[in-house]
Amino acid sequence: MPVRIQPHAFDAGAELAALTQGRGDIGASVTFVGQMREFSDGTKLNAMTLEHYPAMAQAELERIEMQARERFDVTDLEIIHRYGELHPGDPIVLVIATSKSRQPAFDAASFIMDYLKTSAPFWKKESSPEGETWVDARKTDDDATARWQRD
């Protein structure tokens, strides 16, 4: 399954092994794991809740994965995104890209994360001793996505 949305944690090593073990056609793999930080603008967080729009999140991630497949010479792609309650240090998102050589794998992983950040319908709400706060979208994420549209 190239795209999975789930509440429970994932094992990045096991996912990578499942994609690459015994595969002589793969020369490079890039694994990206995004995890929850304990500080947000100087505030120490207890937890974070990820809300999502299930049907659209699945469709958007599949669309992004398809675009990456068309654009880069990759062998395989996998995306896992969690939802629900998370704690500092918990993994949130996994992207694995495999290819014959390293550049398509690096590029595809980066492309997927940039588009995921700006178009997949997930929303983070941070929880600290001071209360709960919805995370604001960042312009730097829009800029990161825009760079793929220039070439």
Partner 1 sequence: MSGEITILYFARLREAVGIPEERISLPQVGMTAGSLLAHLAANDEAKRTAFDGIDIKIAVNQQQADPTTPIKPGDEVAFFPPVTGG
129 SS3 class? coil
**109 contributes a contact to partner 1 by CB under 8 A:** no
**125 contributes a contact to partner 1 by CB under 8 A:** yes
Q: How far is the CB of 127 from partner 1 (least distance, A)?
A: 14
- Cα dist from 83 to 110, 125, 129, whole Å: 21, 11, 22
DSSP letter (8 states) at residue 70: H
Measure the CA angle with vertex 124, ends 121 and 126; round to 5°: 170
Q: How far is the CB of 28 from partner 1 (least distance, A)?
A: 23
- Give the Cβ contact number of residue 36 at 10 Å: 19
**113 contributes a contact to partner 1 by CB under 8 A:** yes
Nearer CB in complex with partner 1: 74/120:
120
Q: Which residues lie near partner 1 (CB under 8 A)?
A: 34, 50-53, 55-57, 59-60, 81, 92-93, 113, 116-125, 134-137, 141
